[in-house]
Structures are given as C-alpha cells and as structure tokens.
Chain A
Amino acid sequence: MTAAKLTVLLRQVAATLTCALAAALAGAGAAQAAATVVIVNQNAPGEGFNDPTPADPVGGNTGTTLGAQRLIAFQRAASIWGATLDSNVTIRVGAAFVPLSCTANGAVLGAAGAYEIWTDFPNAPRANTWYPSALASKLAGEDLTTPEDPHIIARFNSRLGLFDDCLPGSPFYLGLDRRPDGQIDLVTVLLHEMAHGLGFQTFTDDETGEQFFGIPSVWDYFLVNNRTNMPWVSMTDEQRRISAITWRGLSWNGPNVTAAVPGVLAPRTNLNIGGANAGAAAGDYYVGDASFGPPVSASPVSGQLMPVVDQPNGTGLACTPLDAANTLAVRNNIALVDRGTCDFVTKARNVQEAGAIGMLVVDNVPGDVVGLSGSDPSISIPSLRITLSDGVAIKAALLQRSRTRSGVIASFTLDRTRLAGTDRQRRILMYTPSINAPGSSVSHYTTEAKPNQLMEPSINADLQHVVKPPRDLTFPLLRDIGW
C-alpha cells in the first residue's frame, strides 16, 4: 500500500469546539505511558502567547505576562496528555489566540483538529482509513509529518470575556488550580481541544455524511446507529446525514469506552410526572442536570408542580423576587419556570426564597435536553431542565390549577436501570442534536452524561483536568481508535 497524506485546513476538517494551545512538553513522564506534547506558537509578536500585558500570578500560574500565563496553562494541559499517551513521536500543536465567533451570551472557546490525516501508512491497523497524523505517527513509529508542520492545529478565542459582544465578564481563567469561579477554565479547554487533534473527531462530513475523498475515518468504524447497530462506515451518505441529526441515535461502540462506562457514568436522573390531574402529561421525562444545588439523589424530591407566571405571555422567568401570588403557588411545591433573561442560579435563588422545594426549568427554544449551568453555594434545592416541547405538554396539565394546587406531581429521582447518557446497551451516546451543529455534531459525547465529560460540546464547571476513568471517557475512546 502507498501511504497517503492530506493536509487539511482547519475549517474543512478540524472538529471544532473548544481550544488548544501551547508550548512545552511533558517530560519523560512517570508511569509507563509517555508522550511529549509541545506547542508551535503561531501567534505574531505581541499577541496571544506573546502578549506582554502584565499579569498577576493566579491559581498557581506564576507567569507575569498574559502571554506567559497562557503558555504555562498550555504546558499543564500538554503534560496531562503527555502522561496519558504513549508515543515516541513528539506531538506538535500549532496554536494561536485569534478572534472566534462570539455573542454576549455564548462564544466559541476554541477549535482544533488534526492538521494532517493519513491512510495506509506503515503499520496502519486498517487499510484505506483516515487517521489523524499524531496517531498515524505513533502507530508508524516515526514522524510522518515534516518537522516544520504541526500534527494538531488549534485556535482559541482571543476576545473571550474582554468585549461586550463576547461573553463579557467571563474570560479564560489562567490558574492551574481548577477554581475558575465563573470564568472559563483554560486548561480544561486546552485538554478538550488537544483531544480533538489527537483523534476525537471524524473526518467524514457530519452535515452531508460524505466521506473525505471517499475514504472513511477510523472513527466511523466505532460510531453506530444504536437501533440497528449499523456502524457509520457501513451507511450511505444519506443514512449518515440523518443519523447525525437523530437525538440519542448514535452511540460509541468501542470496547475500551464501553468497558469503562459503568465505572464512570452515574444513574440517569429522571423526572416523573404523575398525580390526579397529570392526564396525558403523565410519565417519565429526560432531563438536564444542574451544576448547582444538590444533585438528584436516591432520596427523591417530590411535590406539587406549580408554575411561576410573571410575564404577560404566561411564562414565568423568576428573575426577580416572586410576588405574593407566585410565592403562594410555589411554597412547599416544585416551581416550574421558563428559561430566559437571567441565569439559572438567579431563578433558583428566587424560587428557593419563595419556599419552593425544587425547580424545573422549561427551555424557551426548541431543542434537545441540556443541563443547567451556574454556581451558587447558597442554592439548596435541586433543579432540572426539560425541553420546550415537554414543557408545553406539562403546562397543559397545569391549566386546571388552583392558586396552590395543580394535581400534577413532579418527582426528581434516579433511574437505576439506565446510566446517564447511554443507550439501552449501556454504550455512551454521541452528540447528535436535531439541528446539525457543523463540526460539533458527532465528534462529541452527548450532553446527557453524568458526571459531565470533557468531550461534551460545552465546557462545564465540574470538569477536573482529568481525561481517564474513573472520571472521564476521553482516553478510552482514543484507545479504541488506536492510541
């Protein structure tokens, strides 16, 4: 076989999401696993990793300029991956801070992927299959990439938190101590983006289902339709396209991940709707867990579900302290509030102060199950989130309520028969939102995993700079594809 190489532009292949960068290397490492990860600093003088703006040391990061602190954070992430992986080829990450897509309420933190992909290199486990260059070089036992090129390319948002149109007030946290306190933990973002570059991505188009140059990615052998068990590699383009927008439809079927799942993932949180007036709304619902307040546990929280109504259109935002009627409604009950306008912890605080024993947030736009972000140690009631369509169904049953009673009982419990974010065969689900998110869909784990996983499409506050079981399923997946 003849080795084939393609250098791909970030925009074409790089998976997406969160970021990566840095320099440094992990030394020869302690355990038997060892690889060296270094940064290829692609920022111009005075920018990004070279930014000379003075900075105070923070959270164990001793750098005295912004650029130096960014490099030190990169080194931390690189050393974590270096201690985890095994390769005799130094992994080069071409990294830069550049402006990325932003709004006041959300931002692309970073994007990364393989800089080159290879087929049919020496010792390739599968013929005619794309491998990312860092993995291909490891498997080949030699650096396939020319020394001046990186294996991974990564971009990080240079404007994050620094401008009104880019998550104002939530810049990268450069400390190394996992205490970002509302900021975006850069080391976590770096770990996530490096994983994409190491191979946590498909090179097959998640929007059209077309294989890159008609050749499947190693990824595609392990991605399966969990109803039919047909792997991506065996599907038609159209079947792949449809499967990528089928929520809970695709799972990872690799032996290392599947073996690790029971030790990593916790029982699924369940919302049960019952009671004398539940009617057609009765039943079990998928929910997103909250990163604040007590987690739903073995002792269920159960109570009358009562909506907060403080908007002329009948919704309830609970962004301000509740009035007398809403207070009467939610006291000793579970408060139903709508997403929007203010953050989730503000809503939780307001209904808690009104005497609610739990909070159920209804999404305000169509979509799939997502969790509730935020942090506030003063929140002592559990909160869950449901989709807009589920919320509409449940609200219909609440129209027949009195001021204090709805006849609809909500119970927050654990479903011990199912692990959070898995299919019925206990395989972890992949991220396949109903509306395709180019670059994000397929190449991430589901958002329903509990605890939150590093390779979900969004960064969560409970991540711990860990890439292996028993906390995380990132490394097992890389093992499945050949690491």
Chain B
Amino acid sequence: MKRLFSLAGAALVAVATWAPVNSHAAGVVVLDEGFGSVSGLSGWAQVNRSIPPGTGWFQGNPGVFGAQAGAPDSYAAANYLGAASGMGMVDNWLITPTLALNGLTTLSFFTNRAGDPGFFDQLEVRFGYGSGTSADGFDTLLLTIGGEGEFPAQWAQWTTSLDVQGEGRFAFRYLGDAATLDYIGLDSVKVVTAVPEASTYLMLLAGLGAVGVHARRARKGPRPLSSR
C-alpha cells in the first residue's frame, strides 16, 4: 500500500486531503510540535517580511484564547502587530525545521483566530525544498485559510499531503493588510512521512520528485477536517 502511494506520487501533490491523518499511520513522525515554548523552538525559523516589520510569531496569549492542547499558552500566535504598530502590510513567516522526507508526507495542524467581527485573518501554508528560508524557495502553496475563504474562530484541524523526497520545510505565513488582520493561533503541528525504503529506491524517487516539483501549484479552498 505504502509503496504504491510512493510510486504514484512521484509528482508533487499539492492539495488538501480529506483523509484523516491516521490513515497514513504507517509513516514516520518527523515533526510533532506543541509550542510549549515558542522562543525555545529548535530548528524552526522566523522571517518577518512585513512592511514595516513588527512583532514576530509569539507564545500564545491565553487571555485571547487557550491552546488546542497542553498548557493554556502552549501555542504559537501571530497578530496584526506583525507590521509595526499595526500599520502596513503583514507578511510574517514561521518555518519548520528542515525535515528529511521520504515520499507521501502529511502535514496536519490546528489553527484558530480571535474572531473579532470586521477583521479577516489569512494564513498560507507553503512548502519549500531544501533547508533555506528564503521566501522564493517556498513556491509551493499548499493551503490558504481565511482571506476570501473561511477561517473558523475555534480550533480546527487541517491536513495536507504531498509526495516529496529529500529535505524540505513547511512554512506558515500570516499575511495581509494589518488594518484587516486580528490574531491567530497555531498548535499541534505534525508531519508524517513514509517509511524509508531501500537506498537505491530512494535515489530513484528523489530524481522523480525533483522533476515534478513545479508540476502543480494548486490553490483550493479547503475546509477544516474537524474542529472542536
């Protein structure tokens, strides 16, 4: 089963999936982050490309809402002050560590927003090959939450899958006109990738994967898998 998926997915699959995360239970968990300490994150990167830059991603504020799991403040948050003083354009990135991926890979996470009426938060989820943190490298848009689509004002889980071989990073990008933004949270980020195969097979897939990277840049309006 797993092998079949790997072969079929040689080209990048950049769409949200409706399948629950645990349907890929045969995979290996390469990232499982609950944000107990945002400032103490290991291997993660933050890039604030806002104009003008203000506050980065920060420890969750339980006075706004509590975490999806763990201690009340154990989530990562971003707000309209990503652009200094809340005036300007927010473009605030939180990037996972470099992950060794091995075929079909599923990213799942929970997100939430403050939900004050009149504001429209927007979160993009992107993928980039390699270990870089340059925005140019994250040219694969996996999900857009909010903006023109729905962004629930309660913790909701989202998943997305892609087939990829080699190193890569996922990026959470909070963006928009600061005047329209409010506050969002991110929790329980989990990445599961396929179990490694024999080395020759891996090399073959790596080559195929590289060819397929730019094949699709789908943008859909996904909906939350579940919420609570």
Tell me the complex Cα distance, A314–B52, Å: 12
Given contacts A401-B183, A403-B114, contact A277 B63 (CB under 8 A): yes
Interface flag for A328 (CB, 8 Å): yes
Interface residues of B in 79-121 (CB under 8 A from A): 79-81, 84-87, 114, 116, 118-119
Beta-carbon contacts under 8 Å, A281-338 to B: 304, 309, 311-314, 324-325, 328
Partner of A276, one of B72, B85, B87: B72
Does A447 have its Cβ within 8 Å of any Cβ on chain B?
Answer: no
Q: Are A399 and B58 in touch, CB under 8 angstroms?
A: yes
> Contact: B73 with A312, CB < 8 Å?
no
* Cα of A324 to Cα of B61 in the assembled complex, Å: 23
Interface size on A, residues (CB 8 A): 23
Interface of B is mostly: loop
Question: Do A312 and B85 have beta carbons less than 8 Å apart?
Answer: yes
Known pairs A403-B114, A404-B116; A309 contacts B61 (CB<8 A): no
CB <8 Å contact, B85 and A405 = no
Decide if B77 touches A314 in the complex (CB within 8 Å).
no
- The answer to whether the Cβ of A402 comes within 8 Å of any Cβ in the partner chain is yes
In the bound assembly, the distance between CA atoms of A311 and B84 in angstroms comes to: 11
Does A408 touch B at the CB level, under 8 Å? yes
Given A312-B85, A328-B116: A403 and B183 interface contact (C-beta under 8 Å): yes
**Can you name the residue of chain A whose Cβ is closest to the Cβ of B117?**
A328
**Residue numbers in B under 8 Å from A406 (CB-CB):** 61, 63-64
Cβ–Cβ contact A403 & B61, under 8 A:
no
Residue of B nearest to A315 (CB): B85
Contact assessment for B62 and A276 in the assembled complex, using a CB-CB cutoff below 8 Å: yes
| B59 close to chain A: CB less than 8 A | yes
Residues in B with CB closer than 8 Å to A67 are none
Residues 383 to 440 of chain A near chain B (Cβ within 8 Å):
399-409
**Interface residue A275 (Cβ < 8 Å from any Cβ of B):** yes
Asked if B59 and A400 make an inter-chain contact with CB atoms under 8 angstroms apart, the answer reads yes
CB of B17 within 8 A of chain A?
Answer: no
Mark contacts of B116-130 with chain A using CB atoms, 8 A cut-off: 1 yes-contact digit, 0 otherwise: 101100000000000
Contacts of A309 in B (CB 8 A): 85-86
| Contact across chains for B114 and A404 when beta carbons are under 8 A apart | yes
Q: Given A312-B87, A399-B55, A402-B79, answer yes or no on A407-B183 (Cβ-Cβ < 8 Å).
A: no
Give min CB distance, B71 to chain A, whole Å.
11
**Which among B62, B64, B73, B80 has the greatest number of chain A C-beta atoms within 10 A?**
B64
Interface positions of B from 26 to 80, Cβ below 8 Å from A? 55, 58-59, 61-64, 72-73, 77, 79-80
CB nearest to B86 among chain A residues: A309
Residues of chain B with a CB closer than 8 A to A325's CB: 86, 179
**A77-102, CB < 8 A from B:** none
Please judge, given known A-B contacts A328-B116, A401-B79, A403-B114, whether A314 and B63 are in contact too, CB under 8 Å.
Answer: no
Q: Counting CB contacts under 8 A, is B163 at the interface?
A: no
Contacts of B63 in A (CB 8 A): 275-277, 304, 405-409
CB distance from A273 to the nearest CB of B (A): 12
Residues of B within 8 A of A408 (CB): 63
Instruction: Tell me whether B187 is interfacial, beta carbon within 8 Å.
Output: no
Tell me whether A277 and B61 are in contact (CB under 8 A).
yes
CB neighbours of B55 from chain A (8 A): 399-400
Within 8 Å CB of B64, what residues of A? 277, 400-402, 405-407
Residue pair B79, A400 in contact (C-beta under 8 Å): yes
Q: Give Cα A224 to B29, complex, Å.
A: 68
Asked whether B58 lies within 8 Å of A402 as measured between CB atoms, the reply is no
Bound-state Cα–Cα, A324 to B119, Å: 12
Known contacts A309-B86, A313-B85, A405-B63, A276 near B114 by CB under 8 Å: no
| B179 contacts across to A, CB distance below 8 A | 325
How far is A410 from B114 in the complex, measured between Cα atoms in Å? 21
How close is B121's CB to chain A, nearest CB, in angstroms? 10
Once bound together, how far apart are the Cα atoms of A276 and B114, in whole Å? Answer: 16
Write out the residue numbers on chain A whose beta carbons fall within 8 Å of the beta carbon of B118.
324, 328
Q: In the complex, A79 Cα to B64 Cα: how many Å? A: 61
CA distance A269 to B59 in the complex (A): 32
- Tell me which residues across on chain B come within 8 A of A304, comparing CB atoms: 63
Report the bound CA distance from A408 to B62 in whole Å.
10
Chain B positions within 8 Å of A328 at CB level = 116, 118
Q: Which residue of B lies closest to A275 (CB)?
A: B63
Distance of A393 from chain B, by nearest CB (Å): 16
CB distance from A409 to the nearest CB of B (A): 8
Assembly CA distance A328 to B183 (angstroms): 14
Cα A277 to Cα B60 in complex, Å, equals: 9
Contact A400 B77 (CB under 8 A): yes
A-B contact pairs, 28 of them (CB 8 A): A275-B63, A276-B72, A277-B61, A277-B62, A277-B63, A304-B63, A309-B85, A309-B86, A311-B85, A324-B118, A325-B86, A328-B116, A328-B118, A399-B81, A400-B55, A400-B59, A401-B79, A401-B183, A402-B79, A402-B182, A402-B183, A403-B116, A403-B182, A403-B183, A407-B62, A407-B63, A408-B63, A409-B63
Given contacts A325-B86, A401-B183, A403-B80, 9 further A-B contacts (CB under 8 A): A276-B73, A314-B84, A314-B85, A399-B81, A403-B116, A404-B116, A405-B61, A406-B61, A406-B63
Leading 7 A-B pairs by shortest Cβ distance: A407-B63, A402-B183, A402-B114, A314-B85, A276-B62, A276-B63, A400-B61
